[in-house]
Homo-oligomer: A and B are copies of this chain.
Amino acid sequence: MVQKLKIGIVGGTGYTGVELLRILAQHPHAELAAITSRKEAGMPVAQMFPSLRRVCDLAFTEPDKSDLKGCDVVFFATPHGVAMAQARELVDAGTKIVDLAADFRLQDPAEFERWYKMPHACPDLLAEAVYGLPEMNRDAIRGARIVGNPGCYPTTMQLGFLPLVEAGVVDTTLLVADCKSGVSGAGRKAEISTLFAEASDNFAAYGLPGHRHHPEVTQGLARAATGPLNLVFTPHLTPMIRGIFSTLYASRVRDVDVQALFESRYAGEPFVDVMPAGSAPDTRSVRASNMLRIAVANPKDSRLVRVLVVMDNLVKGAAGQAVQNMNLMCGLPETAGLTAVPVLP
């Protein structure tokens, strides 16, 4: 019998934390060894999240008192800035790191500082860290010690634009991403704007002056583009718990079969499903699963290409993709622990 990986989670009280717990509890090759929370130290995990009764019998522990260095892999489900402070000690001890925050997403430390208002704590580790979008970086992830797990919106925007940009099919100076997110994307934080009585039966735009996910996407797409790149990104909040729906528009510069282009680009991908032509996707078709679905829906009589992407922001947009990265980093089957069927209705 294969030995199970010992897993640590730093900051397990948010939505990505509890989603990691849900996924890892059902993972055939992983064993949860430690879950930390300064604030909730001592509280059994299943007391905070009764959904985990009979599933997880750990309690939250003080970060300092947890044997994270004894873990094979540590996930950081923490605010920005925490992972980079602890990364060196862990990698020196041979522990692999997947950071679900932004510390290892932007490769340029100056860019990081501009958007997150703090200097980067370990630019050298940032330099070796790999951006964890397997469909773009699979081989690099396999060899990585540190993976910066992509943001939720950026996963949909990059996977939706990538085939077009790589193939030079569209004008990269006029990309539009009109994105709609469920409210869990805002995290499990006490804030008025995401109260039920504020966010329910309501649809709102936000982050209009500029959203931190913007530079992450342009960094990813620019690599594939041959010329300059300009993206307009409009995030909206929609009254559902999970799910992102990104409607992408780009101006075609040459004529190709876009449906075939996407099917070919993602052939064999276990977690990207290119739907048949004519499909109108919905977010519930991926609810609670690691699958991301794409539909090409070019409008008639228009030079625009239109691509629709749906994803569960907490799974393929966070915890699921993190586990997919762990699988790659540790030589496990990429789909291990990630085959749950979407929950519908």
Contacts and interface: CB of A to CB of B under 8 A. Distances in A.
Nearest to A288: B343
Contacts of A334: none
Interface in A188-244: 188-192, 194-206, 208-210, 230, 232-234, 236, 238-243
Contact of A50 (B192, B238, B279): B279
A196 B15 CA distance: 13
A164 interface: no
Contacts of A278: 208-209
Contacts of A182: 197, 201, 203
Given A236-B245, A251-B174, A345 B15 contact: yes
Interface stretch (A62-70, A122-130, A253-261, A295-303): A295-303
B302 A230 contact: yes
Tell me how many chains of this kind the complex includes: 4
Interface in A5-54: 15, 18, 22, 25-26, 49-54
Nearest to A235: B280
Among A279, A339, A342, which residue has the most Cβ atoms of chain B within 10 A?
A342
B202 A340 contact: no
A219 to B, nearest CB: 16
Contacts of A289: 51
Contacts of A174: 251, 303-304
A241 B314 CA distance: 19
Among A203, A204, A210, which residue has the most Cβ atoms of chain B within 10 A?
A203
A76 interface: no
Nearest to A240: B201
Contacts of A273: 53-54
A142 interface: no
Given A183-B195, A238-B238, A51 B283 contact: no
Interface in A249-301: 249, 251, 273, 275, 278-289, 291, 293, 295, 297, 299-301
Nearest to A282: B204
By Cβ-Cβ distance, the 9 closest A-B pairs, closest first, are A204-B282, A51-B342, A51-B344, A183-B196, A196-B199, A50-B285, A178-B178, A184-B197, A190-B190
12 contacts: A22-B342, A50-B285, A51-B284, A53-B291, A178-B234, A180-B236, A188-B345, A200-B201, A203-B243, A205-B280, A205-B295, A234-B306
Given A50-B279, A52-B341, A288-B288, 5 more contacts: A50-B285, A180-B236, A186-B197, A196-B239, A198-B345
